[in-house]
Amino acid sequence: MTADPRAELLAEPTDADRAYWDGLAEGKLRMQQCGACKHWQAVPESFCFACGSDSMEWKDTSGKGTVHTFITVHQKYHPAFYDLIPYNVSVIELDEGPRLTANVVNIAPNDIAIGMRVKAKPAPVGDRVALFFEKE
Ligand SMILES: [Zn+2]
């Protein structure tokens, strides 16, 4: 089996974001939520970006959201993605609020649309699991 060249591009989990990666391995999109003001944040931190509280908790999101915007890549930018051209790079706005950049998979380039409902679909990349979305 050929190794997936994208696997080398995945960040190694750290103590700050291990709950996110563990969630993906369990098929869930996990994110921090502030225990004080309920703000969800996509970037793991020891404090809330909205109110400054340090009562951040890891929780499972719904994994659902909408395509806020996207591009379709036709150019060869990185060898790890050559075989996937054309592919989309999409900004997904989760129902919880945060926006994430990801690929919407299992969809033809002309079928993706702004406002389309999507759901998280964590999937293997090499021996890791990464975040993708698919049409809901
Ligand atoms: Zn807060």
At residue 3, the pLDDT reads 85
At residue 123, the pLDDT reads 97
CA angle, 118 then 69 then 96, to 5°: 50
Q: What is the band of 2 on the pLDDT scale with cuts at 50, 70, 90?
A: low
| pLDDT > 70? residue 28 | yes
Nearest to 86 by CA among 64, 104, 66: 104
State the distance between the two ends of the chain, measured CA to CA, in whole angstroms.
Answer: 31
Kindly state the average pLDDT of the residues 88-116. 97
Q: How far is the CA of 42 from the centre of ligand 1 (A)?
A: 13
Kindly state the average pLDDT of the residues 18-31. 97
Q: How far is the CA of 109 from the centre of ligand 1 (A)?
A: 38
Q: What is the band of 130 on the pLDDT scale with cuts at 50, 70, 90?
A: very high
Helices (H) and strands (E) in the chain, counts: 1, 10
Q: How far is the CA of 56 from the centre of ligand 1 (A)?
A: 8
Confirm if 42 and 31 have CB atoms less than 8 A apart.
yes
| Residue boundaries of the structural domains of the chain | 14-135
Q: How far is the CA of 37 from the centre of ligand 1 (A)?
A: 4
Q: How far is the CA of 14 from the centre of ligand 1 (A)?
A: 23
Q: How far is the CA of 118 from the centre of ligand 1 (A)?
A: 27
